[in-house]
Structure 1
Amino acid sequence: MSSSREIKAAYRYCLDMAKSHYENFPVASWLMPRRIRLPIAAIYAFARTADDFADEGDLSVDQRYAELDAMSEKLHTLERGESINEPIFIALADAIERFALPYSLLHDLLSAFRQDVEKRRYTDFGEVMDYCRRSANPVGRLLLHLFGAATPRNLALSDGVCSALQLINFMQDIGQDFDENDRIYLPQDEMKRFGVGEKYLQEKRKALRMDDLITLQLDRAEKMLRAGCPLGIVLKGRFGFELRMICEGGVTVLYKLRERTNPFERPRLERRDWYGIVRRALLPKRVRR
């Protein structure tokens, strides 16, 4: 059992990690209620570390699997009530115990990162959604458990928001995912239906058929996002406000993705975009189109 001093130091380590990595939205920001800010940092540090093992650095495939398997075994160790003398797992163990976080959600994240090691193509949209279910949805569900609001309806709304944001991220990074990781999240059957071969990605082609394929993906993401965004009204206080900001940010990025002339350019949120996001999140009258 870790001492209170060790737990505080472990949380500080996780918080420093969260602050040192750039993300689209601040992690464990002041917007979150104070009592769950540090547990969020612990979850982030766990996921960030696993994600880096799957994608970053010069590790071999076997080494990536070995590191992720080791993280999985450490989770099982915590489940058995044993301790691990590593900052991330000291903090994570404390968060799991205090908030009764489901281990299954953390294992889902690891399974998604494990899949990232070698899977490069997705046969159909069902495969993409299965990946979102394990890579994105657990994060929203863990936050709801931290907030004490993990009702069946809230969990379903959260899944819609998280999957939508994952799909939006895929559409932002089409070129980068292909160039850096030889990875395509566009469903293979739909690429074939629209007549878009991999050469379109290799050569960064601008074509109407490519635009139509991406529009289909954006339409799906927007439908999911708008279906889940009422969760930001259901949840009160800072958590609700941050969620409304995330939803408004997603809607804004969707707009920019539709307006861009080059499907391989990543849109950036500017200061005026953030002003509008904050204003609409503060005055949530309706889900805006």
Structure 2
Amino acid sequence: MPCFADDLRRFGPESAARVTREEARAYCAGLTAAHYENFSVVTHLTPPHLIPAFQAVYAFCRWSDDLGDEVGDRSRATELLSWWRGELRAMFEGEPAHPVMVALRGVVEEFSIPIDPFEALISAFEQDQVVTDYDSYEQLLDYCTRSADPVGRLVLYLGRAHTPENRALSDATCTALQLANFWQDVSRDLDLDRVYLPREDRERFGYPDEHLRAKRFTPGFARLLAFEVDRARALFRVGAPLAGRMPGRLAIDVELFTRGGLAILDRIEAQGFDVFRRRPTVGKAAKLGLLFRSILARSLRSGAGRDRPDPGIRRKDPAAVAAGPAEGRR
């Protein structure tokens, strides 16, 4: 795993380093390959002509995230995120300097991507410096509209599939992925003094702050996390038709992210919702199985109509999602 502090010294606000477009692309490719994610951002199924674009977008997201999380001082992180926004705006004005922005410049021009999703992501990481606990699920969803949904919208631009209908499906999928990551990383986020489990839900299931801070697993916590896992699953079902609306092999990538998010939720449930004892992950063999099922589902849909849902991912009425999951797990 590369050290972000080294990259910050090389290319941060005090750096005078300049790179060519080819060097910038190579930097983004290396950054993408070096970082662990639940599922790879770029796979052998990603259309070759889109790989540099995906790597540049990922590198932007990676730097934004690391500026918010890896600096170790919230005031300094806020300053650096403000600098990063300045680098972004300079890039959109045709004067990129940072390697990520040099690589990204051609991408935003080729795919007519506006500045909004990039600025929304920076805004979310700025919020992380001042908001460390969420009172309600609605507040958490609002955060996801900036921390997660812009990523899906960027993918839609790269796939030339950015329509209002696809955007709505993408937002549901990306929010679900963000929630799955939150429930997977309750313990890790506590170490960063961040709590994404809404306070209203913690109180509803009788899980007090002192138990959370002590990472104490209780029946109340199990019921709480089961409730949140159900919410995330419901959003995945709403967004599932998106894969059938994406062009070419991008459909498999999108399907794989949905299946991967659902697999994480399944892992959480399989270990009895105790995410303090062990962080739930999806192993290599399971990832291969998910990839095979995604390819198979895509093949079946190609023969039966693009918008036909995979029988393994049940669709759910958005009205039912708004109402929340069944109460039987209280």
- 108-117 vs 271-280, which deviates more? 271-280
Aligned to 2:193: 182
Q: How many residues of Structure 1 are paired with residues of Structure 2 in the alignment?
A: 282
TM-score with structure 1 setting the length: 0.93
Aligned to 1:215: 226
1:33 to 47, 65, 68: 47
CA displacement at 1:191 relative to structure 2: 0.9
Aligned to 1:288: 312
Amino acid paired to 2:139:
E
CA distance in 2, matches of 1:22, 1:278: 17
CA distance in 2, matches of 1:249, 1:70: 34
CA displacement at 1:77 relative to structure 2: 2.0
The answer (yes or no) to whether the contact 1:160–1:228 under 8 Å persists in 2 is: yes
CA displacement at 1:273 relative to structure 2: 1.8
CA displacement at 1:24 relative to structure 2: 1.3
- Percent identical among aligned pairs is 34
Q: Where does structure 1 differ by over 3 angstroms across 4 or more consecutive aligned residues?
A: none
Amino acid paired to 1:168:
A
Is 1:89 matched up with 2:96?
A: no
TM-score with structure 2 setting the length: 0.82
Over aligned residues, Cα RMSD in angstroms?
Answer: 1.6
Q: Specify every segment of 5 or more residues in structure 1 that has no aligned partner in the other structure, as ranges.
A: none
Q: Per-residue CA shift, 1:161-204, capped at 9, x if unaligned?
A: 110010000000111111x2111100011111211112222332
The answer (yes or no) to whether the contact 1:226–1:287 under 8 Å persists in 2 is: no
Aligned to 1:45: 59
Aligned to 2:320: none
Is 1:233 matched up with 2:244?
A: yes
The answer (yes or no) to whether the contact 1:229–1:287 under 8 Å persists in 2 is: no
CA distance in 2, matches of 1:62, 1:211: 35
2:133 is paired with a residue of what secondary structure? coil
1:170 to 182, 198, 213: 182
CA displacement at 1:88 relative to structure 2: 0.9
CA distance in 2, matches of 1:287, 1:234: 16
CA displacement at 1:209 relative to structure 2: 1.3
Amino acid paired to 1:135:
S
CA distance in 1, matches of 2:286, 2:43: 19
Amino acid paired to 1:234:
R
2:32 to 18, 24, 28: 18
Q: Per-residue CA shift, 1:108-160, capped at 9, x if unaligned?
A: 00000111123110010011111111011111100110110011111111111
Amino acid paired to 2:104:
L
The answer (yes or no) to whether the contact 2:159–2:247 under 8 Å persists in 1 is: no
- 255-264 vs 150-159, which deviates more? 255-264
